[in-house]
Structure 1
């Protein structure tokens, strides 16, 4: 979790011999046929996906807000494709996996409010494909979610929600030695007794509950991979773990998927809703602007970090 060093962490992969060795290890771990040959064939495509992704992100740092979501979205798409290549040596086998895999309303209604805008997961395309291949998530087709629900899944935006709505979206878990302490007010938020919460948590989570006291539930975090800790999330700005205050199916979505959905919709808006997007940037009429600006600042740093986590899980 803590060995990430910005883009320098990816430098190892920027050589044909290193990328081939890494891919061969990935394929052997999955007992895939022709690991040697496939790793040789995919070493350069793997490097190029990473390289293209990095270029998009670095250009986004320099670009005006008007086009930043487009650059960040396509940067993330290329990095995701590199991750998929580590688990699917034949990617892309068909053109269906090249579509975005999500859709949004093309024409926005009058009095449009970004928070209420929805995205819908499609049957095929990159989003459901990476959900299945990278995170073993199936049957996502038809699920809908709105932008507020997605933004509420980003722990770094917790303070923004406090400032604008007067309520927390996450509870910070303070660390004491090797134990993380979750305030017991989570029981009220989840409408659970202590015994019920422990039963709920022990159903498949890798962070063990060590015990409780009057104020806190004690967790021992045994994994450095964020996806193993869900619904606990990592705040990259302060290095602390956070627990969502609201029980929601999105809590179990890896954060990489959350960033993809938000960036997809923002990139579509930046491309096709020119009037609304320009007015938002120039007029800043409501809370949409600070949330969008904050999220773009966060994802420009956290997107590559989440990719690095996904890329190296069980392979480092």
Structure 2
């Protein structure tokens, strides 16, 4: 994947965002922009999930499914050319459309109630003085899109009431670690793919404070895949029984800049195994609320650039359109290919 210069200034931010939105990830969703193909796709999975009237439901939902994808693309395209001040709002609503398309593949009746139309997140009241975005936090509510996504897509039942700071969320997005104030220390270790398997440096055992056998047992339990391990003086060679997931509740995440799977080093973080789609949702929600309702702080941020908030937010806004589209595309296509839910 093409790499970009990450030096930040207001003048080039729009152009960089435009480049990211045109990297072609929506091309992988093009097969779904067909009523007949989408209907067959939905019918297959409704049948697999033993949903009554799968045939009828698939016909009813094929156009809403396409419209969700179409609207997401429109929002993202508009975000790429919009003033920076409203990009978070447009990007967030585009992402919401992508997530609704995912939910419709597993729940033909979505949304079953108006409570599921809520975003499902609250933000704390902001202080006018000394406010820092990275220390801000969000709290997950009982009902809404986020809990529906967590339960139906990722089989996460206990997200209600959880609080997350922006810093802990952003540290779990691998593309954010390049020259980023959020990643002042190393947050990920690269899983280098070889003909033998995935290589990790043996020093990872010191970081995790585990023996090799305990480490592979621990990692297998977190990614829900059986792993085998060989060890030499410098490296650990890890071989999964099945392909690694691009999505799921796992500390292994995919870096679209380096095209490598990465292992999070933040074992104690509350976001350690949180699916990356949820990470992006929570950060984008907060940014969209700030852009809409904290006009004074939002405007001052661009004028004064007082701390690390500005470069961090700009970097995230560059990453998230292409990364979320990539992850949703992988989820839909893997779901289609493997005939199973990712979890």
TM-score range for the pair, normalised by the shorter chain length: over 0.9
Residue of structure 1 equivalent to 2:266: 246
Whole-angstrom distance in 1 between the partners of 2:161 and 2:179? 30
The answer to whether the Cα contact below 8 Å between 2:188 and 2:264 also exists between their aligned partners in 1 is yes
Residue of structure 2 equivalent to 1:237: 257
* Change over 3 Å in CA distance of 1:6–1:128 after alignment to 2: same
Give the root-mean-square deviation of aligned CA atoms. 1.8
Residues 120-135 of structure 1: pairs in structure 2 closer than 5 A: 120-135=139-154
Secondary structure in structure 2 of the residue aligned to 1:220: strand
Secondary structure in structure 1 of the residue aligned to 2:37: helix
Whole-angstrom distance in 2 between the partners of 1:269 and 1:102? 13
Q: How many residues align?
A: 312
Residue of structure 2 equivalent to 1:40: 59
Residues 82-121 of structure 1: pairs in structure 2 closer than 5 A: 82-121=101-140
Q: TM-score, normalised by structure 2?
A: 0.86
Whole-angstrom distance in 2 between the partners of 1:141 and 1:93? 19
Whole-angstrom distance in 2 between the partners of 1:229 and 1:145? 16
Residue of structure 2 equivalent to 1:26: 45
Which segments of 5 or more consecutive residues in structure 2 lack a partner in the other structure? 1-22, 338-343
How far 1:56 moved relative to its partner?
0.3
The answer to whether the Cα contact below 8 Å between 1:223 and 1:229 also exists between their aligned partners in 2 is no
Residue of structure 1 equivalent to 2:193: 175
The answer to whether the Cα contact below 8 Å between 1:171 and 1:243 also exists between their aligned partners in 2 is yes
- Residues 151-198 of structure 1 show CA distances to partners (whole Å, capped at 9, x for unaligned) of 10000112234x676411111222222511112222232232333212
Secondary structure in structure 1 of the residue aligned to 2:193: strand
Residue of structure 1 equivalent to 2:283: 262
Whole-angstrom distance in 1 between the partners of 2:301 and 2:154? 35
Residues 150-169 of structure 1: pairs in structure 2 closer than 5 A: 150-161=169-180, 166-169=184-187
The answer to whether the Cα contact below 8 Å between 1:101 and 1:121 also exists between their aligned partners in 2 is yes
The answer to whether the Cα contact below 8 Å between 2:182 and 2:312 also exists between their aligned partners in 1 is no
The answer to whether the Cα contact below 8 Å between 1:189 and 1:246 also exists between their aligned partners in 2 is no
Whole-angstrom distance in 2 between the partners of 1:101 and 1:7? 27
Residue of structure 2 equivalent to 1:288: 309
Which segments of 5 or more consecutive residues in structure 1 lack a partner in the other structure? none
Q: TM-score, normalised by structure 1?
A: 0.93
